[in-house]
Amino acid sequence: MYTLFGFKGSGSAAIEAALEMAGLAYHRVDAATWAPDSALAELERVNPLKQIPTLLLPDGSVMTESAAILIHLGLSFPSAKLLPADPSARAQAIRGLVFIAANCYAAIGVIDFPERWCVDPDEAVNDRIRRGAIVRLHRNWEIFVDQFPSQGFFGGDAPNGLDLLATVVSRWSGARAHLRNARPGFVEVAERVEHHPGISQVFARHWPA
């Protein structure tokens, strides 16, 4: 049994969908820094950064970082097709996962917590940092779409781990609204992922219509 620390509307949705695709039994634990009544102390014991998603593996070891978890599950359960079987396509999927983690997820951390990135900021400084990070985030998503064109999905004719992470992370900080105009094809892919059989219930639970 896997244990997934996460919260509604968070990045744990991508891991939950991946576990569903792999047919793995898992237990969800609600934990988030913005939910003081959640299992935050339990999360901190296994992940001192208190970041979600955090996944406890059946052997008791800990996996953190969304991209790393998706790569691990993809390599461990190839029949789930979370990573492409073809080595060249798999390399690009891994590249795409790390691109999102390094360039999009990271920018959202700045947007959400600008005060962490400046000594003694006031609200005006926080606002400038936040607005600059949003501009950078939206540009990074444009670059992602240009570098990783889809063929129905990023994995071909069915979603893979890259589709899951891109679909979840693009829900934040106005990225979807921006891309609907700048790169509408991306939004079409994300919406197909959210309604795909077998994982649509995950997205419906995290983001009810």
The answer to whether 193 and 150 have CB atoms below 8 angstroms apart is: no
Instruction: Provide the 10 A C-beta neighbour count for residue 15.
Output: 29
Question: Region 125-154: what's the mean pLDDT?
Answer: 95
Distance CA 106, CA 92 (A): 20
Radius of gyration of the chain (CA): 17
Q: What is the pLDDT of residues 93-117, one digit of tens each?
A: 999 999 999 999 999 999 999 999 9
Q: CATH assignment of 87-199, given 3.40.50.620, 3.20.20.80, 1.20.1050.10, 3.40.190.10?
A: 1.20.1050.10
Would you identify the CATH topology of the domain 2-80?
Answer: Glutaredoxin (3.40.30)
Distance CA 186, CA 67 (A): 19
Strands 2-6 vs 26-30: parallel, antiparallel or unpaired: parallel
pTM: 0.96
- What value does the mean pLDDT of the chain take? 96
Q: In the structure encoding, which two tokens stand for residue 180, read together?
A: 């609907």
**Domain-wise residue ranges, the chain:** 2-80, 87-199
Which pLDDT belongs to residue 157? 86
> In which order are the strands placed within the sheet that holds 54-56?
26-30, 2-6, 54-56, 62-64
